[in-house]
A and B are shown apart, each in its own frame.
Chain A
Amino acid sequence: MKYAIFEIAGESFGIGIDRVVEILKYQDLHRIPELPDFVSGVINVRGEVVPVIDMRLRFGIAEEARRHRIILVRMEGDKVGLVVDDVTDIVEIPEDGISSPPKLFKGFRAEFMKGLCQGRSDSGTGPAGNGKVIIILDMERILTSSEKIMLSTSRKKLITHGRRRVSRRVQEGQE
């Protein structure tokens, strides 16, 4: 299976490419009062309003650092943007190359992890990552089930009541 490798605070993370829709340049987020706390804002992706989750905030890492990219992923059938520092590579990682995670790895809670994978040093043949350990994320566990429900509810609210207003605000923001 192929994984998109991204970096947050110098650590490498991987998510399955089947969940990835697109990689975008970082753009300013629009904050909207109707959104739940864990959503940092929304962006306009070619006319579509997409909620965005800042992975640094999600992992509880201090805010000072520049964010370069937004990974658009499919979550519960809808698109969600994840703000990361950088997307470095797309690599093939065999299932047997992923080991089960310890309870706590370098301060990241195991609940988000699907497993760890030893990245390849430059001369090796394994997945990339300069010999670093790649944390494979479990997309299903990035949000708790209650958060998923909140997200889908607020999305519906956005669509039914506030879609026009939000789109207008997003467009104004862009202009």
Chain B
Amino acid sequence: MNTKKRLSTTFIRKVLVVLLIGQSFIWYWSFSRHNITIDTDLEKRMQTASAIIGSVAAAVDTAQGHRYLERVMDGALSDENIVYIEVSRESDVVIRRSTSQDDPALRIVKTPIVKGDSEIGTVLLKYKSGKTDTAFILTNLTLQGIVFTVLTLLIYLFFQGHIGTQIAKLSTNIEKVTLGDLTQKVEISEDNEIGVIAKGLNFLIERLLITVKKLKSVAGNVSAAISQLNLTFKNVINGISHQQRSIEEISRAVKTASGAQLQTITNTEKLLSLSNDNVSALLEMRAASEEIAANISSLNRNISASYSTLAGLTRSAQEVASMADNATSAVQQASTSIEEINASVKEVEKTIKESAELSHQTTNIIAEKGMLSVVDAIEGMERIEDSVNSLSEAIKRLGRRSRDIEKILSVIKDVTEQTGMLSLNAQILAVQAGEHGKSFSVVADEMRSLSEKTAVSTHDIAIIVSTLQKEIREAMESTMETVRMVEEGNHIVLKTGDTLREILHASQKSTSMAESIERAVVQQAKGLELIVNAIEHIKGMIIDVNRTTEEQEQGTASLLESISSIKESMEAARNATDEQAESTRFITDNIELANEKTAEIARASAEQQEVNKRIIEAMEEVMVIGKETARNVKEVSLFISSLHNEVEVLRKEVELFRTSTA
């Protein structure tokens, strides 16, 4: 220990300071008394000198007397205190001065010069105050210094010799203990207060040694526990970030699914509008078919009429010889009818061409766009299925992760309990260590509050994790429902494809029918040409009718033959037209069915979209909860690392103590 800080030294120093102050006071008092005496003496002397000069000035006024006055004044100036003398009378002024007259500290004595009863002038005398008696001061100081030194030596010898040594021994021991060496023992066996202090100190050191050993082991345990806790928390944080990533993956998958769904909806809408186009085209076709049917039946009627006319003509031909004029008009009538038929057939031909064109167009629409849409829809559904499957997989992974977190939480609970017990032990040790344990007691309290906080946080996390698990279960249920819906949608799309194929088949059949009708109509037209030619022939024959009836009969027979061939053609056309109309109705029905199915798909897709939205919402909720969990865990981690720091500080402090002599 520093000599300056020793108790005995401090005491001696304080006594000496008191002594010094007392001596200084005494010295100052005697010095000021001495000065006052000197000043009073000087003033009296100056007044006397001034009075002498005044009386001399009053007595003399001759020239000789004047010189005498000057001598007296010079004599006075030889006094080392007087610096300036002025004698001012009514007749003259005499001034004598030494060199340092302008000194401002000069004192002045004024004395009137009195001659008889009247005042004839004044004597002005300036002087400086007397010099301090340095010999007196030096003697005084030396004496006091000697007394002070002797006293100092005496006091020092007394304190340092006896009490100081023992206190120094005691303080050296305490100093070593303070530096952390607990192996010290104070060896003072005296029976006074210092002996008692030494015994007490030995007892305290022993106790402290035991406590510090315990503290060391406790601090080691706590440190290990906290390291474990730290490790565990790192695992938790890893788990949570895994979870977060899984959730993001799910979100992405759901969004992809949603996009595919939207495409499906768009495709379905396209398909619907196409179907509507189909329906209108088919309705048009149906109208055309019906028109054709009407035209063909009117044609039939005309042909029947012409047939009966021809039959009549044949009958008349028997009597043509006698009724040649009638025959001419009949042929005219037949020609008109044939022209009518021709016009009808032309119209039929045009309508049938239109119908064939429409049927072809329908087939194309169904084959290209319809089937393409269905293929798109199937692909979309497959993509949705894939997305939903990966979503369900990711949710299952999430469930597993949350179970991992549960395991980790149980470890944290164990560690928290252990920390709480350790903090109780630390408190016990702190209390038993008494005054020395106070700082440790603060650390123990801190540890305890931290362990309580950790317990609360762990409980919170457990609640959050169970909420999370519930949400994940819900998400899983939603996903299962989605899977079911996707399967249903797939089924519907496949069914739609089948229906469309049926429609295509029917449409192709209808096209081939229309083509055969067209061919029939062409044949019919050819037949009509034959008829026209025949009529021309008839005309020629009628011109020659009068010439030869046999020839006429022959012509009539050939005419009948032609007409019957037309009739056959017409029958075929009628059958074909009927079949076409039926096909068209069948197509219309199918397309309406397809429409219905498509609408069903649209409804299912919208429903599925709703489910997707719910999943996305649930996922976002899960993500928010996950973030909250992460934040809580980080907070706990922060608590724990601060606990760790505290314990490290404690450990370092404990390490400073030397507990064995080795």
Q: When the two chains form the complex, which single residue of A18, A20, A21, A25 contacts B421, counting CB atoms closer than 8 Å?
A: A25
Which residues A55-90 have CB closer than 8 A to chain B?
A: 69, 87, 89-90
Contact B431 A2 (CB under 8 A): yes
Minimal Cβ-Cβ distance residue in A for B214: A22
A-B pairs with beta carbons under 8 Å apart, 25 shown:
A2-B431, A4-B424, A4-B428, A17-B428, A17-B431, A17-B432, A18-B432, A20-B428, A21-B428, A22-B214, A22-B425, A22-B428, A23-B421, A23-B425, A23-B428, A25-B418, A25-B421, A69-B421, A87-B421, A87-B424, A89-B424, A90-B424, A90-B427, A90-B428, A90-B431
Determine how close the nearest CB of chain B comes to the CB of A161; give it in whole angstroms. Answer: 29
Please report the C-alpha to C-alpha distance between residue A21 and residue B431 in the assembled complex, in whole angstroms.
11
Which residues A104-131 have CB closer than 8 A to chain B?
A: none
Determine how close the nearest CB of chain A comes to the CB of B6; give it in whole angstroms. Answer: 37
Q: Which B residues are CB-close (under 8 A) to A22?
A: 214, 425, 428
Secondary structure at the A interface, as helix, strand, loop or mixed, is strand
- The number of residues on chain A lying at the interface, defined by a beta carbon within 8 Å of a beta carbon of chain B, is 13
Please report the C-alpha to C-alpha distance between residue A21 and residue B211 in the assembled complex, in whole angstroms.
11
Q: How large is the interface on B (under 10, 10 to 19, 20 to 34, 35 or more residues)?
A: under 10
Given A23-B428, A90-B428, 20 further pairs, Cβ under 8 A: A4-B424, A4-B428, A17-B428, A17-B432, A18-B432, A20-B428, A21-B428, A22-B214, A22-B428, A23-B421, A23-B424, A23-B425, A25-B418, A25-B421, A69-B421, A87-B421, A89-B424, A90-B424, A90-B427, A90-B431
Determine how close the nearest CB of chain B comes to the CB of A26; give it in whole angstroms. Answer: 11
Determine how close the nearest CB of chain A comes to the CB of B176; give it in whole angstroms. Answer: 28
Minimal Cβ-Cβ distance residue in B for A24: B421
Minimal Cβ-Cβ distance residue in B for A87: B424
Please report the C-alpha to C-alpha distance between residue A49 and residue B424 in the assembled complex, in whole angstroms.
23
Determine how close the nearest CB of chain B comes to the CB of A44; give it in whole angstroms. Answer: 15
Determine how close the nearest CB of chain B comes to the CB of A147; give it in whole angstroms. Answer: 26
Please report the C-alpha to C-alpha distance between residue A4 and residue B427 in the assembled complex, in whole angstroms.
10
Minimal Cβ-Cβ distance residue in B for A46: B217
Determine how close the nearest CB of chain B comes to the CB of A73; give it in whole angstroms. Answer: 11
Q: Which A residues are CB-close (under 8 A) to B427?
A: 90
Q: Which B residues are CB-close (under 8 A) to A2?
A: 431
Minimal Cβ-Cβ distance residue in A for B427: A90
Determine how close the nearest CB of chain B comes to the CB of A88; give it in whole angstroms. Answer: 9
Q: Which A residues are CB-close (under 8 A) to B428?
A: 4, 17, 20-23, 90
Determine how close the nearest CB of chain B comes to the CB of A9; give it in whole angstroms. Answer: 20
Determine how close the nearest CB of chain B comes to the CB of A6; give it in whole angstroms. Answer: 10
Q: Which B residues are CB-close (under 8 A) to A21?
A: 428
Determine how close the nearest CB of chain A comes to the CB of B449; give it in whole angstroms. Answer: 12
Determine how close the nearest CB of chain B comes to the CB of A7; give it in whole angstroms. Answer: 13
Minimal Cβ-Cβ distance residue in A for B420: A87
Q: Which A residues are CB-close (under 8 A) to B431?
A: 2, 17, 90
Please report the C-alpha to C-alpha distance between residue A17 and residue B425 in the assembled complex, in whole angstroms.
11
Give the interface centre of B418, B427, B428, B432 by most chain A CB atoms within 10 Å. Answer: B428
Interface code B409-432, partner A: CB below 8 Å = 1, 0 otherwise?
000000000100100110110011
Please report the C-alpha to C-alpha distance between residue A20 and residue B426 in the assembled complex, in whole angstroms.
12
Please report the C-alpha to C-alpha distance between residue A4 and residue B428 in the assembled complex, in whole angstroms.
8
Q: Which B residues are CB-close (under 8 A) to A4?
A: 424, 428
Q: Which B residues are CB-close (under 8 A) to A18?
A: 432
Determine how close the nearest CB of chain B comes to the CB of A94; give it in whole angstroms. Answer: 15
Q: Which B residues are CB-close (under 8 A) to A69?
A: 421
Please report the C-alpha to C-alpha distance between residue A69 and residue B417 in the assembled complex, in whole angstroms.
11
User: What are the nearest 9 A-B pairs in CB distance?
Assistant: A90-B427, A2-B431, A23-B424, A17-B431, A23-B425, A20-B428, A22-B425, A87-B424, A23-B421
Determine how close the nearest CB of chain A comes to the CB of B224; give it in whole angstroms. Answer: 14
Interface code A5-41, partner B: CB below 8 Å = 1, 0 otherwise?
0000000000001101111010000000000000000
Determine how close the nearest CB of chain A comes to the CB of B218; give it in whole angstroms. Answer: 9
Determine how close the nearest CB of chain A comes to the CB of B376; give it in whole angstroms. Answer: 66
Minimal Cβ-Cβ distance residue in B for A18: B432
Which residues B337-356 have CB closer than 8 A to chain A?
A: none
Please report the C-alpha to C-alpha distance between residue A17 and residue B432 in the assembled complex, in whole angstroms.
8
Please report the C-alpha to C-alpha distance between residue A171 and residue B326 in the assembled complex, in whole angstroms.
146
Interface code B390-424, partner A: CB below 8 Å = 1, 0 otherwise?
00000000000000000000000000001001001
Determine how close the nearest CB of chain B comes to the CB of A90; give it in whole angstroms. Answer: 5
Q: Which A residues are CB-close (under 8 A) to B424?
A: 4, 23, 87, 89-90
Which residues B129-170 have CB closer than 8 A to chain A?
A: none
Q: Which B residues are CB-close (under 8 A) to A23?
A: 421, 424-425, 428
Please report the C-alpha to C-alpha distance between residue A20 and residue B424 in the assembled complex, in whole angstroms.
11
Q: Which A residues are CB-close (under 8 A) to B421?
A: 23, 25, 69, 87
Give the interface centre of B418, B421, B424 by most chain A CB atoms within 10 Å. Answer: B424
Q: Which B residues are CB-close (under 8 A) to A89?
A: 424
Q: Which B residues are CB-close (under 8 A) to A25?
A: 418, 421
Please report the C-alpha to C-alpha distance between residue A69 and residue B418 in the assembled complex, in whole angstroms.
11
